[in-house]
Structure 1
């Protein structure tokens, strides 16, 4: 039944931007089923958020390597069915990394009494929905903890969508997956290996802490040492932010959130969509300045994208006591060595939710 629903995707397309109400299957995400007597204890030692044998509420988390670098961003969905014979959960991860995560879990299994299984796409999947003013338009969904008002996530099996309120919502509000990704970019939410490169990205630079993916009071887990050390130093110099793309003949954007222009086209001079691009400050004549990069463009849909930004170089956020080099009116551009005349400019934006959570986190740190 799930498979047959795919023909609906794209039926409610809005060319002006993400629709106010929408639901779409996250076909780029897969599920791994973990169960067994030792499953909670086993998973607790591998993820950045807290988990116990009585946990029934879904949550967002991350897997890291021993150096504290990101491996995978993930959602954990514990099975709250009281009839379950043993503790069970579903781990949601990017589909291109599902096999790698499965091997990672098996490598750490040792003598733990657990069972692991990659869920077939036809058996069930992860869906996202959103509704202006009410993020819970599908019964039983998880309000997405990464950013307030972003929407909700829900596991839907073939059986549960044959009828009833879920079926009605799907039939009425199905939209293309593209709008989900565009909304992510506008909110400043990274997801998957292209935006959070495995073994390279740091969790706090990827906003995992601000997106409720790390419990700093938790005990030992793989990658904890560097994460806790970063928290205690109180310094995160780079973060992923939404960005507005524009050209030199266009006016410098002044809005606080990206505005999607369906007529704006972007021909990547490097023809490497998955390869991040350096962002550098521009001189008064619009040429790229020499020196270290101020950030990296991670991905975009038209004129809206995500970038890893040095906060004190590209925004008004102060990380150090002396402050940074950012000044109002500064402009930045994407550097293309293979096409030096390309004029793609980048305006970073700090979402209100991110600024508020960032300030709250460091205020608590200073108070302690």
Structure 2
């Protein structure tokens, strides 16, 4: 069944346009802008020099540049940061108050095939799909900036940005790239975001997930008996007991991780 067309009121649109847009973004954000042709939808983020997420976003490729689908409360701060990094590049950066993030039409969401299509539109659908979108993301184990983590809280790999195609490992330098590359080379990617389901109890943000006496991590958002959590997968794999919340067994679904 197709999803109803709605707008996402918790999202804003930042448009970056001009002849130097892709060159400027290529040296700043995680994604490889060579793959960001008009009509594409990808994931990306701006990082601290220490490799943690300042803000992440969905990148819509456009003829004149890109449109960033970003958490609304983070939009103005992201524009200011991007403007600082722009230097002399010919690129205009601004929140587009006449554009809306639309759910239920457009392009496939790169984070999960279970999520609705996504687009940028100028006609605002009457229905607000924000709650529905959050419930679908949580059921799919997809984390969201502002709901599951905040500024400088996590590395991109903690929230599966690399698994969504959001890190250009081979593109060259970008802010925070050295730290991420070192983590990857050394095999230090131990945390991942997972989907959690309980057959018996309502899950709540902040609930600890354990395997016996071993702490695995905490729930970062929930919707009834479904939740998202950031876990130490090395501890989960080594555990001799099943994962549980408040003493009740839960099912953990890990994201597919490429062998390379």
Into which bin does the TM-score normalised by the smaller protein fall?
0.7 to 0.9
Q: Indicate how the Cα distance of structure 1 residues 107 and 345 shifts in structure 2: closer, same or farther if over 3 A, else same.
A: farther
Which of 297, 314, 332 does residue 244 from structure 2 map onto?
332
Q: 1:79, CA displacement in angstroms?
A: 1.9
2:29 and 2:174 in contact (8 A); partners too: yes
Q: Secondary structure at the match of 2:121?
A: strand
2:102 is matched with 127
2:132 is aligned with 1:150: no
Which of 182, 185, 189 does residue 229 from structure 1 map onto?
182
> After superposition, where does 1:75-224 map in structure 2 within 5 Å?
75-80=58-63, 87-120=64-97, 123-129=98-104, 138=105, 141-158=106-123, 176-224=129-177
Name the CA distance, whole Å, in 1 between partners of 2:197 and 2:219. 11
TM-score for both structures, normalised by structure 1? 0.64
1:312 and 1:326 in contact (8 A); partners too: no
Cα shift readout 1:167-219 (whole Å, capped 9, x = no counterpart): xxx68xx5743222111111111111231322120111110011111121111
Name the CA distance, whole Å, in 2 between partners of 1:54 and 1:179. 28
Greater per-residue strand proportion: 2
1:78 and 1:89 in contact (8 A); partners too: yes
Q: Secondary structure at the match of 2:133?
A: helix
Name the CA distance, whole Å, in 1 between partners of 2:56 and 2:147. 12
Q: CA RMSD in A?
A: 2.6
1:350 is matched with 253
Name the CA distance, whole Å, in 2 between partners of 1:187 and 1:29. 19
Name the CA distance, whole Å, in 2 between partners of 1:52 and 1:189. 25
Name the CA distance, whole Å, in 1 between partners of 2:103 and 2:239. 39
Name the CA distance, whole Å, in 2 between partners of 1:150 and 1:58. 13
Q: Which segments of 5 or more consecutive residues in structure 1 lack a partner in the other structure? A: 1-18, 81-86, 130-137, 162-169, 251-263, 283-288, 317-323, 334-342
Q: 1:106, CA displacement in angstroms?
A: 1.5
TM-score for both structures, normalised by structure 2? 0.88
Q: Indicate how the Cα distance of structure 1 residues 54 and 128 shifts in structure 2: closer, same or farther if over 3 A, else same.
A: closer
Q: Secondary structure at the match of 2:145?
A: coil
Once superposed, which parts of structure 1, at least 4 consecutive aligned residues long, lie more than 4 Å away? 343-346
Q: Which segments of 5 or more consecutive residues in structure 2 lack a partner in the other structure? A: none
Name the CA distance, whole Å, in 2 between partners of 1:185 and 1:232. 30
Q: Indicate how the Cα distance of structure 1 residues 54 and 279 shifts in structure 2: closer, same or farther if over 3 A, else same.
A: closer
2:210 is aligned with 1:280: yes
Name the CA distance, whole Å, in 2 between partners of 1:236 and 1:312. 9
1:245 and 1:344 in contact (8 A); partners too: no
Name the CA distance, whole Å, in 2 between partners of 1:54 and 1:295. 35
